[in-house]
């Protein structure tokens, strides 16, 4: 299964797991962000990611340099909970 298929599967699965009122808020927020023009300034596929350092779940600081040294990196950001 490729990444696009997996993301589609996750998206479809979310429809049955996320309460409809919360899903509506999420969709509105996404639509509002798209309408704001923010997509013009986001990092695009193939762009070089700016260097970063983040704290992992154990409290250790992980740098992008260290991650890239281990291979390809997929960065996912979650903005909230339900």
pLDDT digits (tens, 9 = 90+) for 5-62: 998 999 888 888 999 999 999 999 999 999 999 889 888 888 887 899 989 889 999 9
Phi, psi of 69, deg, nearest 5? -65, -20
Contacts of 71 (CB under 8 A, 6+ apart): none
Q: Is the dihedral of CA 53, 29, 16, 81 positive or negative?
A: positive
DSSP one-letter code for 68: H
Whole-number Å distance between alpha carbons of 73 and 82: 27
- Is the pLDDT at 74 greater than 90? The verdict is no
Domain chopping of the chain, boundaries: 3-70
């Amino acid at each position: 299964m490729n990444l696009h298929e997996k993301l589609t599967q996750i998206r479809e699965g979310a429809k049955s797991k996320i309460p409809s009122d919360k899903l509506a808020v999420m969709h509105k927020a996404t639509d509002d962000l798209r309408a704001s023009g923010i997509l013009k300034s986001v990092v695009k596929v193939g762009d070089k990611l700016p260097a970063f350092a983040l704290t992992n779940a154990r409290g250790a600081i992980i740098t992008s340099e260290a991650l890239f040294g281990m291979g390809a990196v997929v960065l996912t950001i979650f903005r909230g909970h339900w």
